[in-house]
Chain A
Protein backbone atom coordinates (compact mmCIF):
# COMPACT_ATOMS: atom_id res chain seq x y z
CA UNK A 1 0.00 0.00 0.00
CA UNK A 2 1.22 3.48 -0.71
CA UNK A 3 1.27 6.42 1.62
CA UNK A 4 -2.05 7.95 0.77
CA UNK A 5 -5.07 9.22 2.59
CA UNK A 6 -7.70 8.33 3.58
CA UNK A 7 -6.75 5.42 5.75
CA UNK A 8 -9.34 5.15 8.48
CA UNK A 9 -11.95 6.95 6.45
CA UNK A 10 -11.54 4.66 3.44
CA UNK A 11 -14.99 3.75 2.16
CA UNK A 12 -16.76 5.92 4.71
CA UNK A 13 -20.37 6.84 4.15
CA UNK A 14 -21.51 9.37 6.76
CA UNK A 15 -25.12 8.30 6.34
CA UNK A 16 -24.81 4.59 6.89
CA UNK A 17 -22.55 2.05 8.54
CA UNK A 18 -20.28 -0.27 6.61
CA UNK A 19 -21.56 -3.80 7.11
CA UNK A 20 -19.10 -6.48 8.17
CA UNK A 21 -18.87 -7.75 4.60
CA UNK A 22 -18.32 -4.25 3.15
CA UNK A 23 -15.75 -3.56 5.83
CA UNK A 24 -13.85 -6.77 5.04
CA UNK A 25 -14.02 -5.93 1.34
CA UNK A 26 -12.41 -2.55 2.01
CA UNK A 27 -9.78 -3.56 4.56
CA UNK A 28 -9.40 -7.33 4.28
CA UNK A 29 -9.56 -9.82 7.15
CA UNK A 30 -7.78 -9.37 10.44
CA UNK A 31 -4.31 -10.93 10.43
CA UNK A 32 -3.94 -14.31 12.06
CA UNK A 33 -7.51 -14.35 13.27
CA UNK A 34 -8.48 -15.45 9.79
CA UNK A 35 -5.38 -16.15 7.78
CA UNK A 36 -2.75 -16.98 10.34
CA UNK A 37 -0.33 -14.96 8.24
CA UNK A 38 1.72 -12.60 10.32
CA UNK A 39 1.20 -14.20 13.70
CA UNK A 40 0.95 -10.80 15.27
CA UNK A 41 -1.17 -12.16 18.01
CA UNK A 42 1.16 -14.81 19.34
CA UNK A 43 1.48 -13.85 22.95
CA UNK A 44 4.75 -13.97 24.70
CA UNK A 45 4.88 -14.69 28.36
CA UNK A 46 6.65 -11.44 29.12
CA UNK A 47 4.49 -8.73 27.66
CA UNK A 48 1.60 -8.85 25.32
CA UNK A 49 3.17 -10.23 22.19
CA UNK A 50 4.14 -9.11 18.77
CA UNK A 51 1.20 -6.82 18.12
CA UNK A 52 2.23 -4.59 21.03
CA UNK A 53 5.75 -4.49 19.63
CA UNK A 54 4.39 -3.51 16.25
CA UNK A 55 2.27 -0.77 17.85
CA UNK A 56 5.35 0.46 19.67
CA UNK A 57 7.38 0.56 16.46
CA UNK A 58 4.55 2.45 14.80
CA UNK A 59 4.68 5.05 17.57
CA UNK A 60 0.90 5.05 18.01
CA UNK A 61 -0.36 7.46 20.64
CA UNK A 62 -3.77 7.75 22.25
CA UNK A 63 -6.32 9.90 20.41
CA UNK A 64 -8.52 10.76 23.33
CA UNK A 65 -6.52 13.86 24.14
CA UNK A 66 -3.69 12.79 26.43
CA UNK A 67 -1.55 11.36 23.64
CA UNK A 68 -0.13 8.57 25.80
CA UNK A 69 1.90 5.89 23.96
CA UNK A 70 -0.55 3.10 23.17
CA UNK A 71 2.01 0.31 23.47
CA UNK A 72 3.07 1.28 27.01
CA UNK A 73 -0.52 1.23 28.13
CA UNK A 74 -1.19 -2.14 26.52
CA UNK A 75 1.95 -3.62 27.99
CA UNK A 76 1.05 -2.41 31.47
CA UNK A 77 -2.34 -4.12 31.18
CA UNK A 78 -0.88 -7.26 29.64
CA UNK A 79 1.63 -7.72 32.43
CA UNK A 80 -0.70 -6.90 35.31
CA UNK A 81 -2.04 -9.78 37.35
CA UNK A 82 -5.54 -11.05 36.58
CA UNK A 83 -7.84 -11.44 33.56
CA UNK A 84 -7.79 -8.16 31.65
CA UNK A 85 -10.73 -6.29 30.15
CA UNK A 86 -10.90 -3.65 27.42
CA UNK A 87 -12.97 -0.46 27.48
CA UNK A 88 -13.51 1.32 24.17
CA UNK A 89 -13.84 4.99 25.01
CA UNK A 90 -16.15 6.66 22.52
CA UNK A 91 -17.85 8.95 25.03
CA UNK A 92 -16.47 12.03 23.31
CA UNK A 93 -17.45 14.50 26.02
CA UNK A 94 -15.82 17.23 23.99
CA UNK A 95 -18.71 19.16 22.39
CA UNK A 96 -16.58 20.30 19.44
CA UNK A 97 -15.41 16.78 18.55
CA UNK A 98 -17.33 14.50 16.21
CA UNK A 99 -14.74 11.96 15.14
CA UNK A 100 -15.57 9.15 17.54
CA UNK A 101 -19.23 9.48 16.73
CA UNK A 102 -18.44 9.29 13.02
CA UNK A 103 -16.29 6.20 13.53
CA UNK A 104 -18.98 4.34 15.45
CA UNK A 105 -21.75 5.52 13.18
CA UNK A 106 -20.07 4.71 9.89
CA UNK A 107 -17.09 2.46 10.53
CA UNK A 108 -18.03 0.45 13.62
CA UNK A 109 -16.15 -2.63 12.47
CA UNK A 110 -12.84 -0.82 12.23
CA UNK A 111 -13.18 0.16 15.89
CA UNK A 112 -14.35 -3.31 16.86
CA UNK A 113 -11.39 -4.82 14.95
CA UNK A 114 -9.12 -2.74 17.13
CA UNK A 115 -11.02 -3.71 20.28
CA UNK A 116 -10.75 -7.41 19.47
CA UNK A 117 -7.06 -7.12 18.57
CA UNK A 118 -6.22 -5.11 21.67
CA UNK A 119 -8.18 -7.51 23.86
CA UNK A 120 -6.38 -10.51 22.39
CA UNK A 121 -3.00 -8.82 22.78
CA UNK A 122 -3.50 -7.96 26.45
CA UNK A 123 -5.19 -11.25 27.29
CA UNK A 124 -8.73 -9.94 27.70
CA UNK A 125 -11.88 -11.85 26.79
CA UNK A 126 -14.24 -8.91 26.98
CA UNK A 127 -14.49 -5.43 25.49
CA UNK A 128 -17.07 -2.80 26.39
CA UNK A 129 -17.87 0.01 23.95
CA UNK A 130 -18.83 3.16 25.87
CA UNK A 131 -20.77 6.03 24.31
CA UNK A 132 -22.37 9.03 25.97
CA UNK A 133 -26.14 9.51 26.30
CA UNK A 134 -26.21 11.87 23.35
CA UNK A 135 -24.91 9.08 21.14
CA UNK A 136 -27.01 6.33 22.68
CA UNK A 137 -28.84 6.12 19.36
CA UNK A 138 -25.83 4.51 17.72
CA UNK A 139 -27.58 1.33 16.67
CA UNK A 140 -24.80 0.83 14.15
CA UNK A 141 -22.54 -0.39 16.95
CA UNK A 142 -25.04 -2.82 18.39
CA UNK A 143 -25.74 -4.14 14.89
CA UNK A 144 -22.02 -4.49 14.25
CA UNK A 145 -21.52 -6.33 17.55
CA UNK A 146 -24.29 -8.71 16.49
CA UNK A 147 -22.72 -9.27 13.07
CA UNK A 148 -19.41 -10.23 14.64
CA UNK A 149 -20.82 -13.01 16.81
CA UNK A 150 -20.52 -15.36 13.86
CA UNK A 151 -16.77 -14.72 13.67
CA UNK A 152 -16.18 -16.36 17.08
CA UNK A 153 -13.27 -14.14 17.88
CA UNK A 154 -13.07 -15.15 21.52
CA UNK A 155 -13.81 -11.63 22.74
CA UNK A 156 -17.19 -10.83 24.22
CA UNK A 157 -18.34 -7.42 22.95
CA UNK A 158 -20.73 -5.23 24.92
CA UNK A 159 -22.22 -1.76 24.64
CA UNK A 160 -22.66 0.70 27.49
CA UNK A 161 -24.19 4.17 27.68
CA UNK A 162 -22.43 6.65 29.98
CA UNK A 163 -24.13 9.78 31.38
CA UNK A 164 -23.25 12.99 29.53
CA UNK A 165 -20.52 15.13 31.02
CA UNK A 166 -17.22 16.66 30.11
CA UNK A 167 -15.33 14.49 32.58
CA UNK A 168 -17.44 11.32 32.42
CA UNK A 169 -15.20 9.98 29.66
CA UNK A 170 -12.13 10.33 31.84
CA UNK A 171 -10.59 6.86 32.31
CA UNK A 172 -11.24 6.45 36.01
CA UNK A 173 -14.76 7.87 35.61
CA UNK A 174 -15.55 5.20 33.01
CA UNK A 175 -14.19 2.52 35.29
CA UNK A 176 -16.23 3.76 38.23
CA UNK A 177 -19.34 3.94 36.02
CA UNK A 178 -18.86 0.40 34.71
CA UNK A 179 -18.45 -0.78 38.29
CA UNK A 180 -21.90 0.56 39.09
CA UNK A 181 -20.87 3.92 40.52
CA UNK A 182 -21.26 7.47 39.23
CA UNK A 183 -19.39 8.45 36.05
CA UNK A 184 -16.95 10.66 37.95
CA UNK A 185 -13.17 10.53 38.11
CA UNK A 186 -11.59 8.79 41.08
CA UNK A 187 -8.32 9.37 42.84
CA UNK A 188 -5.51 7.35 41.27
CA UNK A 189 -3.65 5.10 41.94
CA UNK A 190 -4.84 2.46 41.56
CA UNK A 191 -4.69 3.16 37.86
CA UNK A 192 -7.21 1.35 35.63
CA UNK A 193 -4.44 -0.92 34.34
CA UNK A 194 -3.79 -2.05 37.91
CA UNK A 195 -7.35 -2.38 39.12
CA UNK A 196 -10.20 -1.26 36.91
CA UNK A 197 -13.51 -2.74 35.84
CA UNK A 198 -14.44 -5.52 38.29
CA UNK A 199 -11.02 -5.04 39.80
CA UNK A 200 -9.45 -6.41 36.62
CA UNK A 201 -6.52 -4.86 34.74
CA UNK A 202 -8.34 -2.55 32.36
CA UNK A 203 -7.24 -1.10 29.04
CA UNK A 204 -9.22 2.07 28.42
CA UNK A 205 -8.63 3.09 24.84
CA UNK A 206 -10.12 5.78 22.65
CA UNK A 207 -12.15 4.52 19.67
CA UNK A 208 -9.87 6.19 17.11
CA UNK A 209 -6.75 4.75 18.74
CA UNK A 210 -8.22 1.29 18.28
CA UNK A 211 -9.12 2.01 14.65
CA UNK A 212 -5.48 2.90 14.00
CA UNK A 213 -4.43 -0.25 15.81
CA UNK A 214 -6.59 -2.28 13.43
CA UNK A 215 -4.76 -0.68 10.51
CA UNK A 216 -1.32 -1.22 12.03
CA UNK A 217 -2.14 -4.90 12.62
CA UNK A 218 -3.01 -5.25 8.95
CA UNK A 219 -0.29 -3.20 7.31
CA UNK A 220 2.50 -2.95 9.87
CA UNK A 221 4.43 -0.20 11.59
CA UNK A 222 6.45 0.83 8.57
CA UNK A 223 3.35 1.46 6.54
CA UNK A 224 1.89 3.48 9.41
CA UNK A 225 5.00 5.65 9.60
CA UNK A 226 4.91 6.50 5.90
CA UNK A 227 2.59 9.34 6.82
CA UNK A 228 3.10 11.99 9.44
CA UNK A 229 6.35 13.22 10.94
CA UNK A 230 9.03 11.39 12.88
CA UNK A 231 7.92 12.67 16.28
CA UNK A 232 4.27 11.92 15.51
CA UNK A 233 3.80 9.40 12.77
CA UNK A 234 0.60 8.42 11.02
CA UNK A 235 -2.68 10.08 10.25
CA UNK A 236 -5.27 11.47 12.62
CA UNK A 237 -8.91 12.47 12.63
CA UNK A 238 -9.73 16.11 13.30
CA UNK A 239 -13.01 17.93 13.67
CA UNK A 240 -12.94 21.29 11.92
CA UNK A 241 -15.63 23.81 12.81
CA UNK A 242 -16.25 27.50 12.24
CA UNK A 243 -16.47 29.68 9.13
CA UNK A 244 -15.39 27.21 6.45
CA UNK A 245 -17.47 25.97 3.53
CA UNK A 246 -17.49 22.34 4.72
CA UNK A 247 -16.94 21.90 8.44
CA UNK A 248 -16.66 18.32 9.64
CA UNK A 249 -14.36 15.41 10.36
CA UNK A 250 -11.20 15.12 8.26
CA UNK A 251 -8.37 12.66 8.23
CA UNK A 252 -5.06 14.45 8.00
CA UNK A 253 -1.46 13.41 8.23
CA UNK A 254 0.28 14.67 11.36
CA UNK A 255 2.20 17.81 10.50
CA UNK A 256 -0.18 18.85 7.73
CA UNK A 257 -0.69 22.59 7.68
CA UNK A 258 -3.86 24.16 9.02
CA UNK A 259 -4.07 26.23 5.83
CA UNK A 260 -4.21 23.08 3.71
CA UNK A 261 -6.95 21.69 5.93
CA UNK A 262 -8.95 24.89 5.60
CA UNK A 263 -8.45 24.72 1.86
CA UNK A 264 -9.64 21.11 1.80
CA UNK A 265 -12.73 22.28 3.67
CA UNK A 266 -13.58 24.70 0.89
CA UNK A 267 -11.81 27.73 2.30
CA UNK A 268 -12.85 30.40 4.78
CA UNK A 269 -16.25 32.02 4.52
CA UNK A 270 -15.36 34.82 6.95
CA UNK A 271 -12.30 36.44 8.45
CA UNK A 272 -10.96 34.45 11.39
CA UNK A 273 -9.80 36.00 14.66
CA UNK A 274 -8.34 32.89 16.33
CA UNK A 275 -8.45 29.12 16.41
CA UNK A 276 -9.11 26.98 19.46
CA UNK A 277 -7.02 23.82 19.35
CA UNK A 278 -7.38 20.56 21.25
CA UNK A 279 -10.86 21.07 22.64
CA UNK A 280 -12.93 23.53 24.61
CA UNK A 281 -10.41 23.06 27.40
CA UNK A 282 -7.77 23.82 24.83
CA UNK A 283 -5.51 26.58 23.59
CA UNK A 284 -6.31 29.71 21.60
CA UNK A 285 -3.93 30.50 18.79
CA UNK A 286 -4.02 33.87 17.03
CA UNK A 287 -5.25 33.81 13.42
CA UNK A 288 -2.04 35.60 12.43
CA UNK A 289 -0.18 32.40 13.27
CA UNK A 290 -2.41 30.16 11.15
CA UNK A 291 -0.35 30.63 8.03
CA UNK A 292 2.30 27.94 8.10
CA UNK A 293 0.98 26.36 11.29
CA UNK A 294 1.62 22.62 11.25
CA UNK A 295 -0.81 20.28 12.97
CA UNK A 296 1.47 18.21 15.17
CA UNK A 297 2.35 18.44 18.84
CA UNK A 298 5.91 19.38 17.97
CA UNK A 299 4.84 22.30 15.79
CA UNK A 300 2.10 23.43 18.15
CA UNK A 301 4.24 23.29 21.29
CA UNK A 302 5.55 26.87 20.90
CA UNK A 303 1.93 28.02 21.16
CA UNK A 304 1.31 25.88 24.22
CA UNK A 305 -1.11 23.84 22.14
CA UNK A 306 -1.36 20.23 21.05
CA UNK A 307 -3.46 18.21 18.61
CA UNK A 308 -5.21 16.53 21.55
CA UNK A 309 -8.47 14.96 20.45
CA UNK A 310 -8.26 16.81 17.13
CA UNK A 311 -10.57 19.72 17.77
CA UNK A 312 -9.89 22.67 15.48
CA UNK A 313 -12.48 25.36 16.11
CA UNK A 314 -12.19 28.60 14.15
CA UNK A 315 -13.61 31.75 15.67
CA UNK A 316 -14.70 34.43 13.23
CA UNK A 317 -13.57 38.03 13.59
CA UNK A 318 -17.23 39.04 13.93
CA UNK A 319 -17.48 37.31 17.28
CA UNK A 320 -16.31 38.75 20.57
CA UNK A 321 -13.49 36.50 21.75
CA UNK A 322 -13.85 37.74 25.32
CA UNK A 323 -17.55 36.90 25.54
CA UNK A 324 -16.94 33.61 23.76
CA UNK A 325 -14.15 32.62 26.18
CA UNK A 326 -16.18 33.75 29.20
CA UNK A 327 -19.03 31.46 28.10
CA UNK A 328 -16.67 28.52 27.56
CA UNK A 329 -14.99 29.16 30.90
CA UNK A 330 -18.30 29.20 32.76
CA UNK A 331 -19.35 25.99 31.04
CA UNK A 332 -16.06 24.27 31.90
CA UNK A 333 -16.41 25.40 35.51
CA UNK A 334 -19.92 23.95 35.56
CA UNK A 335 -18.55 20.71 34.11
CA UNK A 336 -16.25 20.26 37.08
CA UNK A 337 -17.37 17.15 38.87
CA UNK A 338 -17.45 19.17 42.07
CA UNK A 339 -15.32 16.62 43.88
CA UNK A 340 -12.08 18.52 44.36
CA UNK A 341 -12.05 21.87 46.14
CA UNK A 342 -9.34 23.52 44.04
CA UNK A 343 -11.02 22.51 40.77
CA UNK A 344 -14.54 23.63 41.53
CA UNK A 345 -13.54 26.79 43.41
CA UNK A 346 -10.67 27.74 41.13
CA UNK A 347 -12.57 27.28 37.88
CA UNK A 348 -15.59 29.18 39.14
CA UNK A 349 -13.37 32.00 40.37
CA UNK A 350 -11.64 32.19 36.99
CA UNK A 351 -14.98 32.10 35.15
CA UNK A 352 -16.33 34.84 37.40
CA UNK A 353 -13.30 37.04 36.86
CA UNK A 354 -13.60 36.51 33.12
CA UNK A 355 -17.25 37.47 33.17
CA UNK A 356 -16.42 40.58 35.17
CA UNK A 357 -13.70 41.56 32.73
CA UNK A 358 -16.12 41.03 29.84
CA UNK A 359 -18.68 43.26 31.55
CA UNK A 360 -16.11 45.86 32.49
CA UNK A 361 -16.75 45.46 36.21
CA UNK A 362 -13.58 43.61 37.18
CA UNK A 363 -11.70 46.61 38.50
CA UNK A 364 -7.97 46.96 38.48
CA UNK A 365 -5.65 44.02 38.91
CA UNK A 366 -7.99 41.57 37.15
CA UNK A 367 -5.20 40.33 34.91
CA UNK A 368 -2.90 39.62 37.87
CA UNK A 369 -5.76 37.99 39.71
CA UNK A 370 -6.45 35.73 36.73
CA UNK A 371 -2.81 34.73 36.50
CA UNK A 372 -2.77 33.96 40.22
CA UNK A 373 -5.95 31.88 40.03
CA UNK A 374 -4.55 29.92 37.11
CA UNK A 375 -1.47 28.99 39.15
CA UNK A 376 -3.64 28.16 42.14
CA UNK A 377 -5.86 25.81 40.16
CA UNK A 378 -3.53 24.01 37.81
CA UNK A 379 -2.54 20.46 38.67
CA UNK A 380 -4.58 20.28 41.85
CA UNK A 381 -7.50 18.09 40.83
CA UNK A 382 -7.89 14.33 40.88
CA UNK A 383 -8.17 14.47 37.09
CA UNK A 384 -6.76 16.80 34.43
CA UNK A 385 -9.95 18.78 33.91
CA UNK A 386 -8.75 21.91 35.74
CA UNK A 387 -5.44 21.84 33.83
CA UNK A 388 -7.20 22.01 30.48
CA UNK A 389 -9.69 24.62 31.62
CA UNK A 390 -6.99 26.98 32.87
CA UNK A 391 -5.17 26.53 29.57
CA UNK A 392 -8.16 28.12 27.88
CA UNK A 393 -8.04 31.10 30.27
CA UNK A 394 -4.29 31.47 30.02
CA UNK A 395 -4.15 31.38 26.23
CA UNK A 396 -7.10 33.79 26.01
CA UNK A 397 -5.22 36.24 28.20
CA UNK A 398 -2.32 36.14 25.75
CA UNK A 399 -4.10 36.01 22.42
CA UNK A 400 -6.91 38.43 23.31
CA UNK A 401 -4.88 40.79 25.51
CA UNK A 402 -6.06 43.80 23.54
CA UNK A 403 -9.74 42.88 23.60
CA UNK A 404 -9.54 42.03 27.29
CA UNK A 405 -8.09 45.36 28.31
CA UNK A 406 -10.61 47.07 26.05
CA UNK A 407 -13.47 45.29 27.82
CA UNK A 408 -11.96 45.95 31.23
CA UNK A 409 -11.98 49.67 30.48
CA UNK A 410 -15.14 50.12 28.45
CA UNK A 411 -17.32 47.13 29.28
CA UNK A 412 -19.24 45.00 26.78
CA UNK A 413 -18.48 45.55 23.11
CA UNK A 414 -20.89 45.64 20.16
CA UNK A 415 -20.23 41.97 19.37
CA UNK A 416 -20.78 40.74 22.94
CA UNK A 417 -24.51 40.28 22.40
CA UNK A 418 -24.09 38.09 19.30
CA UNK A 419 -25.21 34.47 19.44
CA UNK A 420 -22.46 32.11 20.59
CA UNK A 421 -20.33 30.70 17.79
CA UNK A 422 -19.20 27.78 19.93
CA UNK A 423 -22.21 25.68 20.86
CA UNK A 424 -22.47 24.44 24.43
CA UNK A 425 -24.58 21.43 25.28
CA UNK A 426 -26.97 21.97 28.14
CA UNK A 427 -26.08 18.98 30.26
CA UNK A 428 -27.14 19.30 33.80
CA UNK A 429 -26.42 17.03 36.68
CA UNK A 430 -28.75 17.52 39.63
CA UNK A 431 -26.41 15.47 41.82
CA UNK A 432 -23.56 17.85 41.24
CA UNK A 433 -25.06 20.71 43.19
CA UNK A 434 -25.31 18.62 46.31
CA UNK A 435 -21.88 17.05 46.16
CA UNK A 436 -20.11 20.22 45.07
CA UNK A 437 -17.33 21.44 47.30
CA UNK A 438 -17.82 24.96 46.14
CA UNK A 439 -17.02 27.30 48.99
CA UNK A 440 -19.62 30.00 49.26
CA UNK A 441 -17.86 32.07 51.91
CA UNK A 442 -14.95 34.32 51.20
CA UNK A 443 -11.30 33.47 51.60
CA UNK A 444 -11.18 35.55 54.74
CA UNK A 445 -13.81 33.57 56.57
CA UNK A 446 -12.04 30.32 55.75
CA UNK A 447 -8.82 31.40 57.39
CA UNK A 448 -10.68 32.76 60.37
CA UNK A 449 -12.21 29.37 60.92
CA UNK A 450 -8.79 27.87 60.87
CA UNK A 451 -7.60 30.16 63.61
CA UNK A 452 -10.63 29.18 65.62
CA UNK A 453 -9.68 25.53 65.33
CA UNK A 454 -6.24 26.18 66.67
CA UNK A 455 -7.44 28.01 69.73
Chain B
Protein backbone atom coordinates (compact mmCIF):
# COMPACT_ATOMS: atom_id res chain seq x y z
CA UNK B 1 0.00 0.00 0.00
CA UNK B 2 1.54 3.25 -1.08
CA UNK B 3 0.94 6.63 0.44
CA UNK B 4 1.02 10.07 -1.06
CA UNK B 5 0.74 13.61 0.17
CA UNK B 6 -2.36 15.64 -0.52
CA UNK B 7 -3.30 19.09 0.66
CA UNK B 8 -6.75 20.30 1.63
CA UNK B 9 -6.65 23.71 -0.07
CA UNK B 10 -9.58 25.00 1.98
CA UNK B 11 -7.84 24.32 5.29
CA UNK B 12 -4.38 25.41 4.13
CA UNK B 13 -3.40 28.89 5.24
CA UNK B 14 -0.01 29.05 3.53
CA UNK B 15 2.15 28.65 6.60
CA UNK B 16 4.65 26.90 4.40
CA UNK B 17 6.03 24.67 7.12
CA UNK B 18 5.36 21.59 5.03
CA UNK B 19 7.66 22.78 2.25
CA UNK B 20 10.52 23.08 4.68
CA UNK B 21 10.04 19.60 6.07
CA UNK B 22 9.35 17.85 2.78
CA UNK B 23 11.10 19.88 0.06
CA UNK B 24 11.37 16.70 -2.02
CA UNK B 25 7.63 16.78 -2.60
CA UNK B 26 6.41 20.23 -1.68
CA UNK B 27 7.33 23.62 -3.10
CA UNK B 28 5.54 26.90 -2.56
CA UNK B 29 3.78 28.97 -5.20
CA UNK B 30 3.83 32.76 -5.69
CA UNK B 31 1.44 33.20 -2.79
CA UNK B 32 3.04 30.77 -0.36
CA UNK B 33 0.63 27.88 -0.97
CA UNK B 34 2.08 24.39 -1.33
CA UNK B 35 2.45 22.76 -4.74
CA UNK B 36 2.34 19.07 -3.96
CA UNK B 37 3.95 16.30 -5.96
CA UNK B 38 1.47 13.47 -5.47
CA UNK B 39 3.68 10.56 -6.45
CA UNK B 40 3.84 7.65 -4.00
CA UNK B 41 6.20 8.21 -1.10
CA UNK B 42 9.21 6.01 -0.65
CA UNK B 43 9.84 4.58 2.79
CA UNK B 44 12.46 7.18 3.69
CA UNK B 45 10.28 10.08 2.58
CA UNK B 46 7.27 8.72 4.41
CA UNK B 47 8.71 9.61 7.79
CA UNK B 48 9.34 13.19 6.67
CA UNK B 49 5.87 13.37 5.18
CA UNK B 50 4.35 12.26 8.48
CA UNK B 51 6.28 14.92 10.29
CA UNK B 52 5.17 17.57 7.80
CA UNK B 53 1.55 16.52 8.31
CA UNK B 54 2.02 16.69 12.07
CA UNK B 55 3.35 20.22 12.08
CA UNK B 56 0.82 21.68 9.68
CA UNK B 57 -1.00 24.08 11.99
CA UNK B 58 -4.34 23.70 10.22
CA UNK B 59 -4.09 19.96 9.59
CA UNK B 60 -4.35 20.71 5.89
CA UNK B 61 -1.59 18.34 4.91
CA UNK B 62 -2.82 14.78 4.63
CA UNK B 63 -1.39 11.39 3.87
CA UNK B 64 -3.54 9.48 1.47
CA UNK B 65 -3.46 5.72 1.20
CA UNK B 66 -4.59 4.02 -1.91
CA UNK B 67 -4.22 0.67 -3.46
CA UNK B 68 -5.70 -0.86 -0.34
CA UNK B 69 -6.94 -4.29 -1.30
CA UNK B 70 -10.43 -4.08 -2.76
CA UNK B 71 -12.84 -6.30 -0.96
CA UNK B 72 -14.06 -8.94 -3.35
CA UNK B 73 -17.72 -8.54 -2.47
CA UNK B 74 -20.91 -7.07 -3.84
CA UNK B 75 -19.38 -3.67 -3.35
CA UNK B 76 -16.75 -4.24 -5.94
CA UNK B 77 -18.70 -2.15 -8.44
CA UNK B 78 -18.38 0.90 -6.25
CA UNK B 79 -15.67 3.24 -7.51
CA UNK B 80 -12.62 2.71 -5.36
CA UNK B 81 -12.21 5.65 -3.04
CA UNK B 82 -8.85 6.53 -1.63
CA UNK B 83 -9.09 6.92 2.08
CA UNK B 84 -7.76 10.08 3.57
CA UNK B 85 -6.78 10.45 7.12
CA UNK B 86 -5.01 13.07 8.97
CA UNK B 87 -1.88 11.75 10.51
CA UNK B 88 -1.70 13.23 13.94
CA UNK B 89 0.74 11.36 15.99
CA UNK B 90 2.65 12.48 19.00
CA UNK B 91 4.78 15.24 17.53
CA UNK B 92 8.45 15.17 18.28
CA UNK B 93 9.72 17.99 20.45
CA UNK B 94 11.87 19.56 17.73
CA UNK B 95 8.98 19.68 15.35
CA UNK B 96 6.70 21.08 17.94
CA UNK B 97 8.78 24.11 18.53
CA UNK B 98 8.37 25.02 14.90
CA UNK B 99 4.63 24.92 15.07
CA UNK B 100 4.62 27.68 17.62
CA UNK B 101 6.33 30.06 15.29
CA UNK B 102 3.91 32.28 13.51
CA UNK B 103 5.45 33.07 10.16
CA UNK B 104 3.48 36.27 9.92
CA UNK B 105 4.99 37.76 13.03
Contact = CB atoms under 8 A, between A and B. Distances in A.
Interface residues of B, number: 34
Most buried by A among B74, B77, B102: B77
A446 interface: yes
Interface string B88-103: 0000000000100111
A80 interface: yes
Classify chain A's interface size.
35 or more
Given A446-B32, A449-B32, A340 B10 contact: yes
A450 interface: yes
B81 A341 contact: no
B22 to A, nearest CB: 14
Contacts of B30: 345, 349, 376, 443, 446
Contact of A439 (B31, B35, B103): B31
A46 interface: yes
Given A189-B81, A381-B9, A450-B16, A341 B28 contact: no
Given A447-B28, A450-B28, A454-B20, A345 B9 contact: no
Interface in A435-455: 437, 439, 443, 446-447, 449-450, 452-454
A194 B31 contact: no
A254 interface: no
A76 interface: yes
Contacts of B33: 341-342, 345, 380
A191 interface: yes
Interface in B67-97: 74-75, 77-79, 81-84
Interface of B: 8-17, 19-20, 28-33, 35, 74-75, 77-79, 81-84, 98, 101-105
Given A76-B78, A342-B29, 16 more contacts: A47-B74, A47-B77, A72-B79, A340-B12, A341-B9, A341-B31, A342-B31, A345-B29, A349-B30, A380-B9, A437-B14, A443-B30, A449-B32, A450-B20, A450-B32, A452-B103
A-B CB proximity, top 6 nearest: A340-B9, A453-B103, A341-B33, A446-B32, A443-B30, A46-B74
26 contacts: A45-B74, A46-B74, A47-B74, A79-B74, A79-B78, A189-B84, A194-B81, A340-B9, A341-B13, A341-B29, A342-B9, A342-B33, A345-B30, A345-B33, A376-B29, A382-B9, A437-B13, A437-B14, A446-B32, A449-B32, A449-B103, A450-B20, A452-B103, A453-B17, A453-B101, A453-B102
